[in-house]
Structure 1
């Protein structure tokens, strides 16, 4: 029963298997239903432009707001999952996302869709997305890149299956009917939430003991209730992670990468139509990328766990490949050349996406993984929010997408330079018991750790639904 005091068994290390494979399956389904669905929403772009007669940049804001808000609100989703559980957040997000789709089917303007589909549905999907990634990192250690690659490969399956499906639904039922059907598909996220069984790790005890000591020190040294409340908020969102230099440099690099990476999902179908490709064939381009991503997310995670080269270097290879692919888009003048481009794009995209959550865990450690993923998603969300509209405005100004893709490729390659600065920064051991902000573990009184065994842990509270 939720909130009851009971004996809790703590594991010294993640189990690297067992029920963790069901968590991987849950993450796979979430990436099919949520992330694959969002990345397939580019086929709605032409339908929205035709229905509301708006410019390319303004219409592109719908999809970029949906993705951006989903990622930007991830710190909030992470904080809420600590206060309740990952399972409850996924349940809640699935119901709210379906409601947002239904409301969006009655849209009368682009502004209406920005609020209903972009803001409301985007926030709901953030409640589904980040808890699943957090649970993956808690169940796996030695095989975490492989498990993460399998889990997020559902994104490729979703892109392959849903992009042409959405185009068929739009042709048959208009975008309004299509959104109603997609709402029903989104409700399947509740099944994914049911599979997220909480797990308790020894590092949770140690991290909670540190927070309890810090909280007690604040109460003793501060007479202001405002300062105490502010401190609690900062602890919930784990703002101290933003003082960890290697992690912050990684976030800067990831921001530049995602600005350039994000434009393809909104604009590639329209670019294909501009060079004479039909609507149905253009929608299949995202499916082609989805197949390649599915395969290479699996291969990328498996290869990173082999230890032939560091995970950071594997990630950098994937990012560099995506940037180079964008630079060659203006030279793709036929449908066949665009197919080749999308295969290569999916290949390199799958490699670096398989390692995003893995690198975040290496920078933050397992006890702070939820907050680390939240901050990483926030940075990605801002990038998604800006990328597609900027590309659309460049299209409005130039009449083609050449400058848009050149700029995207240059931004991605420039983001790699930041990672070279990161390699020069001092790396603290995130899985150890000492961080920049936490006192050494030997200074933590043993009784403060033992006392937490009988207390419900906020990050992993069991909840009966």
Structure 2
């Protein structure tokens, strides 16, 4: 009888719906960000089609990146109210529509609209609600679950651009967009249907515990948004993210031209972005579980410090292999940062309004994404060197680490706030 009970418990654990939510989040981030990063594969085709400069074509990334994170301030609270499934399905539909419209575009401006508005808004609608849903299903393994969910971004970055390149060579760029759009709609919306906000509706507590055992960690309790944003803890997290983001996204724009300036061939230079993707995937996949054991607040500080160290390595790197070492190391710490941040937010503000709180926090990342790479480019135009931008990027993450360290000395709002709420999901 004992063995039968153990097998039954094991089967129940395997079927814990929280892991289906994590899997759905992986697919959503894979499709959303992977589709966005296919744009580089289409640049040459669109230059020839529309007679556009490479600079004008590349402008789409800053605007789209701003929307990825900036729209979370809207989609997060809406998901808290209406449910993450609806917002995620809408986002995936917009991603697919953006790809389809890009394939039918007759001007480069229409491509801007399709990618920046369609895909940017689509990822913006889906990303924060999906991450918020994952947080509510886990407590003990929250960091590990978050890491698995967002590792879809790294895998999508590795898989989708080569797939797009093959489709372009086989079908042409317009039909390639058609295929990618259909895949995004069908796969993305199917994954969204697996997303659920409250484990209690599936008969369990967080981590698959029995409902009685989960009573001490109610999944739908949390600090009200208006109270959360007024706390020193949120102010510290926001300031650290904002300052860090000014430097974090500089490599994604300027690492390839930096390498070319140092006599690395363009074909090898492009591989450096893939190396960041490899490191990022590893960081998201493995480091979240380590954070659960070592403490997620301390781990977040370590991620900022690690990004600062790796950026300092970039400043002194000069050949392909040293740049590859930087890219791999930076990717690991960047991936760990992305994985652990939502879990830290949920630790301190609870799960009830986590989507809205993460959405507001991610506006800091949106501004950093919009401004950091652009400022680095302007500094290069003046100085004809990347030393100053890279040094500033490293210093920004040192400051972020210090702010995060100071923030840990403030009281956790979930433990002290009298204004928590246990309202049911709307």
Q: Is the 8 A contact 1:16 1:140 kept in 2?
A: no
**Aligned match of 2:298 in 300, 313, 316?**
313
Cα distance in 2 for partners of 1:61, 1:175 equals: 19
Show the 5 A alignment for 1:7-406.
18-39=16-37, 41=39, 53-54=52-53, 56=55, 60-107=58-105, 111-169=109-167, 176=174, 178-187=176-185, 188-199=187-198, 203=218, 238-307=225-294, 310-406=295-391
Question: Using a 3 Å threshold, how does the CA distance of structure 1 residues 198 and 241 change in structure 2: closer, same or farther?
Answer: closer
Cα distance in 2 for partners of 1:166, 1:317 equals: 36
Cα distance in 2 for partners of 1:274, 1:47 equals: 25
TM-score, length basis structure 1: 0.75
In structure 2, the residue corresponding to 1:267 is in which secondary structure? helix
Deviation, structure 1 residue 40: 5.6
Question: Using a 3 Å threshold, how does the CA distance of structure 1 residues 406 and 40 change in structure 2: closer, same or farther?
Answer: farther
Cα distance in 2 for partners of 1:419, 1:42 equals: 34
In structure 1, the residue corresponding to 2:229 is in which secondary structure? helix
Question: Using a 3 Å threshold, how does the CA distance of structure 1 residues 179 and 322 change in structure 2: closer, same or farther?
Answer: farther
Cα distance in 2 for partners of 1:363, 1:130 equals: 17
Q: Is the 8 A contact 2:147 2:339 kept in 1?
A: yes
Cα distance in 2 for partners of 1:164, 1:282 equals: 16
Question: Using a 3 Å threshold, how does the CA distance of structure 1 residues 251 and 109 change in structure 2: closer, same or farther?
Answer: farther
Deviation, structure 1 residue 426: 3.3
Deviation, structure 1 residue 45: 6.3
Deviations 1:88-139 (A, max 9, x none): 2111111111112222345566654443322342112111111210111111
Instruction: Report whether the alignment pairs 1:457 with 2:418.
Output: no
TM-score, length basis structure 2: 0.82
Cα distance in 2 for partners of 1:417, 1:46 equals: 43
Unaligned runs of 5+ in 2: 1-12, 201-214
Cα distance in 2 for partners of 1:40, 1:322 equals: 25
Ranked by relative contact order (alpha carbons within 8 Å, sequence separation 6 or more), the top structure is 1
Q: Is the 8 A contact 1:62 1:110 kept in 2?
A: no
Q: Is the 8 A contact 2:32 2:119 kept in 1?
A: no
**Aligned match of 1:435 in 413, 417, 426?**
417
Which residue of 2 is the match for residue 231 of structure 1?
none
Question: Using a 3 Å threshold, how does the CA distance of structure 1 residues 54 and 405 change in structure 2: closer, same or farther?
Answer: farther
Deviation, structure 1 residue 183: 2.3
Q: Is the 8 A contact 1:17 1:139 kept in 2?
A: no
Unaligned runs of 5+ in 1: 1-14, 211-234, 442-448, 459-465
Cα distance in 1 for partners of 2:25, 2:104 equals: 31
Question: Using a 3 Å threshold, how does the CA distance of structure 1 residues 272 and 134 change in structure 2: closer, same or farther?
Answer: same
Question: Using a 3 Å threshold, how does the CA distance of structure 1 residues 115 and 387 change in structure 2: closer, same or farther?
Answer: farther
Deviations 1:50-71 (A, max 9, x none): 8655575x65541121111121
Q: Is the 8 A contact 2:221 2:350 kept in 1?
A: no
Deviation, structure 1 residue 393: 2.5
Cα distance in 2 for partners of 1:168, 1:276 equals: 28
Question: Using a 3 Å threshold, how does the CA distance of structure 1 residues 240 and 55 change in structure 2: closer, same or farther?
Answer: farther
